[in-house]
Amino acid sequence: MNKVGTRTIETERMILRRFKIEDAQEMFDGWCNDPEVTRFLTWAPHGSVEVTKMLLNDWVPRYENGDYFNWGMELKEIGKLIGNISVVQVREDIGEALIGYCMSRAYWGNGYMPEALKAVMDYLFDVAGMNRVVATHDVNNPKSGRVMDKAGMKYEGTLRQASLNMQGICDSVYHSMIRSDREK
Ligand SMILES: CC(C)(COP(=O)(O)OP(=O)(O)OC[C@H]1O[C@@H](n2cnc3c(N)ncnc32)[C@H](O)[C@@H]1OP(=O)(O)O)[C@@H](O)C(=O)NCCC(=O)NCCS
């Protein structure tokens, strides 16, 4: 793995960039306090923007680390942050990155997350030198699976009662892309 950390990525409609402390209010208003967004995630709605600020105070210094990958998704057209895509776990021994993402409800259904996921996977393979990118979702949250399909990941299998989120213990659907998939 190349310790390149989080660099700016440009897609057709978005700039994927590092978060700044000043993003707190926009994140809170957009997705961090929405129970519909967090329904299948591991964390509860923030309740107060102070919680979002605390999170950013934890995240921002981590950009110093070459193995920290965490992007805010900014829509070019309006210069607004609409979501977050990040690597939530790295396994250096096998060059594996586990991806997580979420987005403001107002922007769902426009294909923004598949566009971001494709670009992040390109970065992780081509710049960070990963060999395998994985994502998982609650079996009851198939729209997240659609994102993985549209970004070109392959279904790997469903692990029974293997994850925990705001709904409790759930069956977890795995998708991945491996380096050799891209050569086909
Ligand atoms: C999952 C999520 C990232 C999808 O992002 P997106 O940019 O809307 O993705 P797409 O536009 O490609 O839509 C994906 C699917 O979501 C569903 N969808 C689209 N618009 C929707 C809406 N307004 N309301 C509910 N579901 C919707 C559709 O099933 C769609 O699949 P289709 O294109 O085959 O019809 C977004 O819904 C989200 O942030 N959800 C909450 C957080 C979350 O679940 N994260 C993943 C955890 S594993």
Distance 135 CA to ligand 1 centre (A): 15
Our answer on whether the CB atom of 143 is closer than 6 Å to any ligand 1 atom is yes
Note the pLDDT tens digit of each residue in 2-44. 999 999 999 999 999 999 999 999 999 999 999 999 999 999 9
Distance 82 CA to ligand 1 centre (A): 13
Tell me the two tokens of residue 129: 């030198």
Q: What is residue 56's predicted lDDT score, i.e. its pLDDT?
A: 98
Protein residue with least CA distance to atom 32, ligand 1: 146
CA distance 59 to 167: 26
Our answer on whether the CB atom of 146 is closer than 6 Å to any ligand 1 atom is yes
Burial category of 24 from C-beta neighbours within 10 Å (exposed 0-12, middle 13-18, buried 19 and up): buried
Distance 173 CA to ligand 1 centre (A): 16
Is residue 110 predicted with pLDDT exceeding 90? yes
Q: Does the model's pTM come out above 0.75?
A: yes
Distance 1 CA to ligand 1 centre (A): 30
What is each CA distance from 134 to 20, 104, 139, 143, 156, in whole angstroms? 26, 23, 16, 16, 10
Q: Which domains does the chain have, with CATH numbers?
A: 9-135 (3.40.630.30)
Our answer on whether the CB atom of 13 is closer than 6 Å to any ligand 1 atom is no
Our answer on whether the CB atom of 37 is closer than 6 Å to any ligand 1 atom is yes
End-to-end Cα, the chain, rounded Å = 22
CA distance 45 to 18: 22
Q: Which atom of ligand 1 is nearest to the CA of 41?
A: 47
Note the pLDDT tens digit of each residue in 67-76. 999 999 999 9
Q: Which single residue is written with the structure tokens 């990525």?
A: 9
CA distance 76 to 93: 36
Our answer on whether the CB atom of 42 is closer than 6 Å to any ligand 1 atom is no
> By C-alpha distance, which of 40, 59, 61 is closest to 135?
40
Q: What is residue 183's predicted lDDT score, i.e. its pLDDT?
A: 81
CA distance 127 to 150: 22
Note the pLDDT tens digit of each residue in 79-89. 999 999 999 99
- Average pLDDT (107-132) is 98
Q: Which atom of ligand 1 is nearest to the CA of 112?
A: 7
In which band, very low, low, confident or very high, does the pLDDT at 184 lie, cut at 50, 70 and 90? confident
Q: What is residue 49's predicted lDDT score, i.e. its pLDDT?
A: 98
Q: Which single residue is written with the structure tokens 């210069």?
A: 79
- Average pLDDT (148-156) is 98
Instruction: Provide, rounded to the nearest whole percent, the portion of the chain with pLDDT above 70.
Output: 100
Instruction: Provide, rounded to the nearest whole percent, the portion of the chain with pLDDT above 90.
Output: 99
Q: What is residue 33's predicted lDDT score, i.e. its pLDDT?
A: 98
